[in-house]
């Protein structure tokens, strides 16, 4: 099988987390195996959230439960809007908006999330729709799959290898997105306090949940699956996959050198996905997704 191996792309990384770095390379870890004839469908929740929205903590609990219910089939990324965890990459300084939120979130409110970027109406962004959309989405038969090798970390640099394989011909414009995700973040700094409407003192008290006994502003709140940066070339527009590769039986391989000297490697993951690109926020579709913790290998899904 002919493989398309592209040159290394060097990606710098700035993070608020400063800990001694580790070399996590495991020489016993196997390489990515040969591409299979078919793949299983994985899904991604991209949720728009913010510290100022008191409704977001309940959506966080829902996502946590869905991740437990669908291990290795479901990934989640929380994209922060208008708060201290919003990466500069996502801020359109001229328009004063979060790029992803302005493009995909037709509700204009938080929390709002999309499952594999399938959006038709505002109702598709409601957290109440997550369980049913996930159950439906997991039954799809994908036409491509991914495998990720994030095992090679030496001297503060990650040699990330991304494989995309195609089990069917795919016509159209497809782009590769690679997110760096912080698995958890918390701080006693008040700029990171999370509003909580579900407190017994909040506007929508929710007895019987952990949120009920917490204050209306939660200090040292644990934020999970926090979007930190795109690693693909093209940034928030994604990286074009050549049409000559999106053919049954072909494999696309891309390498990245990522500067990870200033982060706690054991608290970060890579989420990669193939996006069917469209002219607006309702015409995209993620074909498949794969996630790996830094220091590990995720074979084909």
- Across the chain, which has 301 residues, the per-10-residue mean pLDDT values are 44 43 49 95 98 98 97 97 96 91 96 97 97 97 97 95 98 97 98 98 96 98 98 96 97 96 95 95 96 97 94
Rounded to whole angstroms, the Cα distance separating 81 from 27 reads 40
What is the model's pTM? Answer: 0.91
* Domain map (residue ranges) of the chain: 3-22+38-186+222-298
Q: What is the pLDDT of residue 95?
A: 85
Q: What is the pLDDT of residue 96?
A: 84
Strands 217-218 and 251-259: unpaired
Taken as a whole, the chain contains a residue count of 301
Q: What is the pLDDT of residue 271?
A: 98
Residues 3-22+38-186+222-298: name the CATH superfamily: Immunoglobulins (2.60.40.10)
Rounded to whole angstroms, the Cα distance separating 194 from 224 reads 12
* Inter-residue contact 292 to 47 (CB < 8 Å): no
299 CB-near residues (< 8 Å, 6+ apart): 32, 33, 147
Q: What is the pLDDT of residue 94?
A: 87
* Inter-residue contact 23 to 151 (CB < 8 Å): no
Phi-psi label, residue 116: left if phi above 0, alpha if psi -120 to 50, beta otherwise: left
Instruction: Find residue 5's DSSP bridge partners.
Output: 253
CA torsion through residues 31, 161, 244, 276, sign: positive
Rounded to whole angstroms, the Cα distance separating 90 from 53 reads 19
Q: What is the pLDDT of residue 31?
A: 84
User: Of the candidates 193, 162, 182, which has an alpha carbon nearest to the alpha carbon of residue 262?
Assistant: 182
């Amino acid at each position: 099988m002919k493989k398309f191996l592209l040159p290394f792309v060097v990606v710098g990384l700035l993070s608020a987390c400063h800990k001694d770095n580790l070399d996590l390379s495991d020489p016993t870890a196997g390489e990515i195996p040969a591409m299979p004839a078919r793949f299983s469908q994985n899904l991604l929740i991209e949720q728009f959230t913010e510290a100022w929205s008191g409704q977001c903590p309940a959506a966080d609990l829902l996502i946590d439960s869905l991740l437990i219910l669908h291990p290795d089939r479901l990934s989640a990324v929380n994209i922060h809007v208008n708060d201290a965890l919003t990466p500069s990459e996502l801020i359109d300084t001229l328009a004063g908006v979060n790029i992803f939120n302005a493009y995909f979130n037709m509700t204009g409110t938080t929390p709002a999330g999309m499952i594999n970027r399938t959006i038709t109406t505002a109702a598709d962004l409601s957290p109440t729709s997550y369980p049913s959309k996930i159950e439906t989405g997991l039954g799809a038969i994908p036409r491509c799959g991914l495998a990720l090798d994030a095992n090679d970390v030496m001297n503060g640099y990650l040699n990330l290898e991304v494989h995309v394989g195609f089990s069917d011909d795919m016509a159209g414009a497809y782009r590769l997105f690679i997110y760096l995700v912080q698995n958890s973040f918390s701080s006693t700094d008040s700029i990171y306090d999370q509003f909580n409407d579900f407190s017994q003192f909040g506007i929508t008290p929710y007895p019987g949940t952990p949120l009920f006994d917490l204050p209306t502003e939660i200090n040292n709140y644990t934020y999970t699956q926090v979007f930190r940066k795109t690693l693909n070339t093209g940034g928030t527009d994604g990286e074009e996959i050549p049409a000559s590769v999106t053919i049954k039986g072909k494999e696309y391989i891309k390498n990245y050198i990522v500067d990870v000297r200033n982060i706690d490697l054991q608290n970060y993951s890579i989420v990669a996905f193939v996006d069917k690109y469209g002219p607006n926020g309702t015409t995209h579709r993620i074909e498949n997704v794969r996630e790996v913790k830094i220091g590990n290998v995720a074979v084909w899904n």
